[in-house]
């Protein structure tokens, strides 16, 4: 792991010391998005999109694709199809289909952070399906797929269930000991895009995923959250329905102890929420009905948290950084030993929920 850190630091120093050659905007093609698809015959298909600014002020998107045995040679093959030199100065998002991500994305990520034109706020994402199809589909929401993707990810970070994610966050998790990376999953749905869930990585390889519903709890567990919506399934007598709780503030605390040399964790979630919708048969002027939503919400959140942590242990991935929690508390922490212990480690979860407002009621 120390070797990984040395390579990373050396690469950063090279970037700081290097000079970026000037490029005239009219003489280059500014790539906005790149997609990588692993093909059945072990070839790699690369697809890029770039904007064309027309004389009437409109902007249209153009795409180029090429197939190669290696990702490094793809850019050369794409340049043979472009009337202008391709440059990454406006690169906004890089996509990987499941098969490509399962083989590992480090080669691509390495080339990105070594490129002085690429910023750390660049987004990375896994695609459920073909990245080529996603980038070449015409969408009603935006003419440029890159803009659509950026807006989709950003607004889900700001207002929904997606934790903060970009190239910098991925690299921090990859090179840090005791924590594994994650990325959003997107897919095409007719003439729209959809955030499907979160991809889990072991080192740089795709290892599994959690759903959009599970990502509400995941976001609170990762670093706390003041956003997100959760649908609560209610039952009262013979009546059944659903309520929507909006997260106002969610925090998580981790307590670690050693039992016979093995770490054990107590994970405690605290969530303040407001009710945004509820069934017409439920009268919220009665406190018992607010208590019903609160208690049901608490049970479901606790169940979800236990389920996804168990999933992480079975997949032997640690996106929540349990290893990092131990490392920060131990002087002679042994990463290899922790990895061996992690799948069977005792992790208990408790949840406190308080409904503080009734919000916008429907």
pLDDT in tens, 310-360: 999 999 999 999 999 999 998 889 999 999 999 999 999 999 999 986 654
Domain match, 21 and 154 both: yes
The position carrying tokens 């599970």 is 214
Confidence at residue 72, expressed as pLDDT on a 0 to 100 scale = 79
**Would you say residue 112 lies in a domain?**
yes
Total count of domains within the chain: 2
Last residue of a domain, one of 191, 211, 231: 211
Domain match, 316 and 225 both: yes
pLDDT over threshold 70, residue 182: yes
Task: Give the mean pLDDT of 118-124.
Answer: 89
**Nearest Cα to 200, choosing from 213, 221, 183, 175?**
183
- Mark out the alpha helices in the chain (DSSP H runs): 2-17, 71-79, 98-103, 106-113, 131-136, 145-159, 167-175, 214-223, 287-315, 322-327, 335-341
- Cα–Cα distance, 157 to 168 (Å, whole number): 15
257: tokens are: 């102890």
Instruction: Give the structural domain span for 142.
Output: 2-211
Assess contact for 261 and 337: CB atoms under 8 A.
no
Range in 53-57, 285-289, 295-299 with the lowest mean pLDDT: 53-57
59: tokens are: 């902007």
Domain match, 196 and 249 both: no
Give the CATH number for residue 251: 3.30.300.210
**SS3 at position 7:** helix
What DSSP assignment string belongs to 82-137? -SSEEE-TT--EEEEEHHHHHH-SHHHHHHHHT-TTS-TT-EEEEESS-HHHHHHS
Range in 17-26, 105-114, 325-334, 353-362 with the lowest mean pLDDT: 17-26
Domain match, 79 and 161 both: yes
Burial class, 149, CB count within 10 angstroms (exposed 0-12 / middle 13-18 / buried 19+) = buried
The position carrying tokens 């010391």 is 17
pLDDT over threshold 60, residue 208: yes
Last residue of a domain, one of 196, 211, 226: 211
Last residue of a domain, one of 211, 227, 260: 211
Domain match, 304 and 203 both: no
Assess contact for 246 and 273: CB atoms under 8 A.
yes
Confidence at residue 8, expressed as pLDDT on a 0 to 100 scale = 47
Domain match, 202 and 294 both: no
Task: Work out the end-to-end distance of the chain between its first and last CA atoms, rounded to an integer number of angstroms.
Answer: 53
Q: Is the pTM of this model over 0.75?
A: yes
């Amino acid at each position: 792991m120390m070797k990984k850190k040395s390579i990373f630091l050396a690469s950063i120093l090279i970037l700081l010391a290097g000079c970026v050659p000037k490029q005239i905007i009219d003489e280059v093609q500014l790539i906005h998005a790149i997609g990588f698809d692993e093909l059945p015959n072990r070839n790699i298909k690369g697809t890029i999109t770039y904007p064309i600014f027309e004389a009437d002020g409109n902007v249209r998107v153009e795409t180029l694709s090429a197939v190669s045995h290696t990702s490094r040679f793809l850019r050369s093959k794409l340049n043979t199809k472009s009337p202008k030199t391709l440059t990454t100065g406006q690169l906004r998002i890089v996509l990987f289909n499941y098969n490509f991500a399962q083989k590992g994305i480090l080669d691509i990520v390495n080339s990105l952070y070594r490129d002085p034109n690429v910023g750390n706020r660049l987004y990375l994402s896994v695609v459920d399906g073909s990245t080529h199809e996603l980038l070449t589909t015409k969408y009603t929401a935006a003419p440029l797929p890159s803009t659509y993707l950026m807006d989709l990810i950003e607004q889900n970070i700001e207002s929904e269930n997606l934790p903060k994610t970009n190239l910098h966050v991925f690299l921090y998790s990859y090179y840090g000991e005791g924590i594994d990376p994650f990325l959003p999953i997107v897919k095409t749905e007719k003439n729209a895009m959809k955030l499907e869930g979160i991809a889990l990585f072991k080192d740089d390889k795709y290892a599994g995923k959690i759903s959009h519903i599970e990502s509400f709890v995941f976001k609170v567990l990762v670093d706390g959250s003041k956003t997100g919506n959760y649908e609560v399934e209610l039952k009262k007598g013979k009546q059944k329905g659903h309520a929507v709780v909006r997260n106002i503030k969610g925090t998580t605390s981790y307590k670690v102890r050693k039992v016979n040399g093995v770490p054990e964790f107590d994970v405690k979630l605290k969530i303040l929420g407001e009710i945004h919708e509820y069934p017409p048969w439920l009268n919220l002027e009665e406190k018992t009905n607010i208590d019903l939503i609160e208690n049901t919400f608490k049970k479901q959140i606790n169940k979800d948290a236990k389920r996804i942590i168990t999933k992480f242990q079975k997949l032997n991935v640690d996106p929540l950084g349990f290893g990092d929690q131990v490392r920060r508390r131990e002087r002679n922490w042994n990463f290899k030993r922790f990895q061996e212990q992690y799948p069977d480690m005792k992790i208990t979860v408790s949840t406190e929920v308080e409904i503080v407002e009734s919000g916008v009621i429907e």
